[in-house]
Amino acid sequence: MKENYNTENARQAAWWHWHKHLYNWVIHWADTRFGVLALILLAITEPICVPIPADVLVIGLSLGKPKKAVRYGLICSLFSVLGGTIAFCLGIAIGGERVISFFEMLSLGPFDFASKAQKALELYQQYDFWAIAISALTPVPYMLFSWLGGMAGVSVWKFIGISIVFRTIRFGGESLLFYFLGQRARDLIEKYFNIATVIVIILLAVAALVIKKLGHAFGG
């Protein structure tokens, strides 16, 4: 039992060290003259296949040069949407039908993975605005929802438009804090980021409800 426990701990440590090394390797580019290029490449690849959020380089670069923070935030927003659109198009190429067929092969007895995959795609289609907005703004993986958006067959222009708005709110908001507050902004982001995003989502939900009610009222 003890041997199994130690083996499991070793596996977890190895995984964490690998992820930590990757994180450190990404953020070290902020201290080089290739920082902006690294930011562009990370922003593009994160929504496709990279597990390190682009925020780390926006924060790293902004800490070094707070007066250029807005530039870094806008660059990250633009290329992140580009990367998300690439992932979205790859999702279209794969198609929802292939995904469902794949899960049909995995379905055994009571485990009907295909129907769950079908339901997930239908829910994405039904709540596409919220799926895209929440993943673009919050720590929910934008990569996952970029791929799923294409598989679900939602409008690519809707995906791009919503992504531009909410990725800019996320990275632009971070960069504005650094522009005005300098290094103090890092503490604020780490302490209040999740709370702030929840508040924004609640406000958006309230706004959507009000607009819907007004539409019904003026529509008859």
**Largest Cα–Cα separation, the chain:** 71
Q: Are 95 and 59 in contact (CB under 8 A)?
A: no
Q: How many domains does the chain have?
A: 1
Per cent of the chain over pLDDT 90 is: 29
Determine the Cα–Cα distance for residues 63 and 85; give it in Å rounded to an integer: 29
Residue 18 has pLDDT above 90, yes or no: no
121-166 pLDDT, tens digit each: 888 888 888 889 888 887 678 998 999 999 999 999 999 999 999 9
Task: At 92, list the tokens.
Answer: 């279209």
Which carries the bigger pLDDT value, residue 27 or residue 8?
A: 27
Per cent of the chain over pLDDT 70 is: 69
Look up the domain containing 46 and give its range: 2-218
Cα-atom radius of gyration of the chain, to the nearest Å? 20
CA dihedral 158, 162, 165, 171 (to 10 degrees): -130
Phi first, then psi: give them for residue 108, nearest 5 degrees.
-135, 125
pLDDT given for residue 161 in this prediction: 93
pLDDT given for residue 106 in this prediction: 65
Determine the Cα–Cα distance for residues 91 and 162; give it in Å rounded to an integer: 17
Mean pLDDT of the chain: 78
Q: Environment class of residue 153 by beta-carbon count within 10 Å: exposed (0-12), middle (13-18) or buried (19+)? A: middle
Residue 17 has pLDDT above 60, yes or no: no
Phi first, then psi: give them for residue 154, nearest 5 degrees.
-75, 170
pLDDT given for residue 62 in this prediction: 86
- Among 6-10, 35-39, 127-131, 186-190, whose mean pLDDT is lowest? 6-10
pLDDT given for residue 85 in this prediction: 97
pLDDT given for residue 22 in this prediction: 60
The amino acid present at 99, given as its one-letter code, is V
Which carries the bigger pLDDT value, residue 66 or residue 18?
A: 66
